């Protein structure tokens, strides 16, 4: 470690973004698995038939229905994007600020734009199902866990970006 990296570590022993970024990062990681495994919404039609799907159930159902391209799209944006984002956030959080590339923060910002894609799609599905005759739809815990995970990771990246800007490290964006 050179002198500047040692100073960065002494200034903030909790990593880029400090203890707040670390707490938000941990919270986002903890909330992600229930967000993809628990049902996102439940639809009921004709008062008798109920169906609920988690993100993982949806991907499996699409594969079973011979819709691999749609399954791949959902897997990419629901699983791949958040996992890539959290991996990058962990790496940035652990690096001394002087070693964080502005390009890395721009990638975090780009990935963050897709964080709420599933939440919006499920909200639209709930509205559509609720407007059909003899059917209802309601959000389920998975939707809230997934949204809370995405929000936690978004806030963590914002805290890290602010820390980097305050330290004068490139053009970091949250």
Mean pLDDT (the chain) is 79
Residue 7, pLDDT > 80, answer: no
pLDDT > 50? residue 154: yes
In a 13 Å sphere around the CA of 57, the CA atoms on its Cβ side amount to 13
- Contacts for 34-39 with beta carbons within 8 Å, 24 or more apart? 34/141, 34/142, 34/145, 35/142, 35/143, 35/145, 35/146, 35/147, 35/148, 35/149, 36/78, 36/79, 36/142, 36/146, 37/142, 38/140, 38/141, 38/142, 38/145, 39/140, 39/141, 39/142
For 13-64, write each residue's pLDDT tens digit. 667 888 999 999 999 999 999 999 999 878 777 667 777 888 888 888 889 9
Residue 71's pLDDT band (cuts 50, 70, 90): confident
Whole-number pLDDT of residue 132: 63
Gyration radius of the chain's alpha carbons = 19
Looking at the predicted structure, is the pLDDT value of residue 162 above 70?
Answer: yes
Which residue do the tokens 């490139």 mark? Answer: 170
pLDDT at 54: 86
Query: Which helix (H) or strand (E) covers residue 115, if one does?
Result: none
Q: pLDDT per residue over 85-140, tens digit each? A: 899 999 988 888 778 887 887 787 777 667 666 666 666 666 665 666 666 777 88
Asked whether the whole model's pTM tops 0.85, one would answer: no
Q: Which residue has the higher pLDDT, 123 or 141?
A: 141
User: What pLDDT does residue 24 have?
Assistant: 95
């Amino acid at each position: 470690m050179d002198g500047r990296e040692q100073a960065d570590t002494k200034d903030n022993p909790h990593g880029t973004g400090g203890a707040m970024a670390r707490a938000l990062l941990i919270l986002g990681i903890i909330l992600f698995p229930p967000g993809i495994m628990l049902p996102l919404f439940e639809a009921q039609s004709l008062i008798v038939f109920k169906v609920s799907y988690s993100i993982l159930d949806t991907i499996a159902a699409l594969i079973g229905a011979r819709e691999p391209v749609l399954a791949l799209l959902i897997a990419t944006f629901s699983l791949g994007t958040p996992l890539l984002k959290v991996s990058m956030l962990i790496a940035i959080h652990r690096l001394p600020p002087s070693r964080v590339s502005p390009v890395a923060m721009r990638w975090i910002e780009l990935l963050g734009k897709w964080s709420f894609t599933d939440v919006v799609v499920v909200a639209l599905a709930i509205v559509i199902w609720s407007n059909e005759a003899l059917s209802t739809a309601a959000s389920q815990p998975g939707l809230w866990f997934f949204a809370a995970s995405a929000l936690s990771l978004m806030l963590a990246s914002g805290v890290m970006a602010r820390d980097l800007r305050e330290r004068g490290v490139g053009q970091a964006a949250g």
